[in-house]
A = this chain, B = another copy of it.
Amino acid sequence: MRAHKPLLIVLSGPSGVGKDAVLATMKELGRSFHYVVTATTRPRRTREKNGVHYHFLSPEEFQQMIDGGQLLEWASVYGNYYGVPKDEVARGLAKGMDVIVKVDVQGAANIKKLLPQAVFIFLLPPSMDELERRLRQRSSETVTVLALRLMKAKEEIESLPLFDYVITSRQGELESVVGQIGAIVAAEKCRVRPRVIEL
């Protein structure tokens, strides 16, 4: 009787909160979304695959996408560029699929300005101590980057009012987080005033 347009879900939160782990669990559990692959100039980590985890681009290639207006949003984070290719989002919506995009908090704020009708979800660490512990586990973090990320995380949590929903991301409770995202999507599809994304 009422066909809802597909949703654009923006999943954000501080570095180390577990955004990638949540997305990986959603994929494992077969949650049907169009998962947007972000473009980045940051070095590929071991086990990351080009075109799967990120589109790994050279600074020159990234600049071409900016110049061509091909990015929905982009930002420089700790000296690396991250961007959301417009065509990835458009392709998902055109297929009638809900689109989910993972961005840092600055990125979410940028998307909010362009597409306030997206659904903005903030992943919150259970505590700053827990966030620090998780960041330390990443062998890729130097001491300076770790300190920067923690300082940044405190700032980012101040951006919570920009978001629609907040989910606390507890260690070992990834499926619960995924369940809450599922509930948010199901509830949004029942809204009397549906969100309409126009790219």
Interface status of A70 (Cβ within 8 A of chain B): no
Interface status of A186 (Cβ within 8 A of chain B): yes
Shortest Cβ gap from A139 to chain B (Å): 28
Within 8 A of B (CB), among A136-170: 160-161, 163-168
Is B187 a contact of A183 with CB atoms below 8 Å?
Answer: yes
Interface status of A106 (Cβ within 8 A of chain B): no
Interface status of A113 (Cβ within 8 A of chain B): no
Task: Specify which chain B residues have a CB less than 8 angstroms from the CB of A179 in the assembled complex.
Answer: 186
**What string of 1s and 0s marks CB contacts (under 8 Å) between A63-107 and chain B?**
000000000000000000000000000000000000000000000
In the assembled complex, the Cα of A178 lies from the Cα of B1 at a distance in Å of: 18
- How many copies of this chain does the complex contain? 2
Task: Specify which chain B residues have a CB less than 8 angstroms from the CB of A124 in the assembled complex.
Answer: 1-2
Within 8 A of B (CB), among A177-197: 179-180, 182-184, 186-188, 190-193
Residue of B nearest to A168 (CB): B1
Interface status of A33 (Cβ within 8 A of chain B): no
Is B163 a contact of A192 with CB atoms below 8 Å?
Answer: yes
7 residue pairs of the A-B complex, CB under 8 angstroms, read: A1-B124, A1-B126, A160-B192, A165-B191, A166-B190, A167-B190, A184-B190
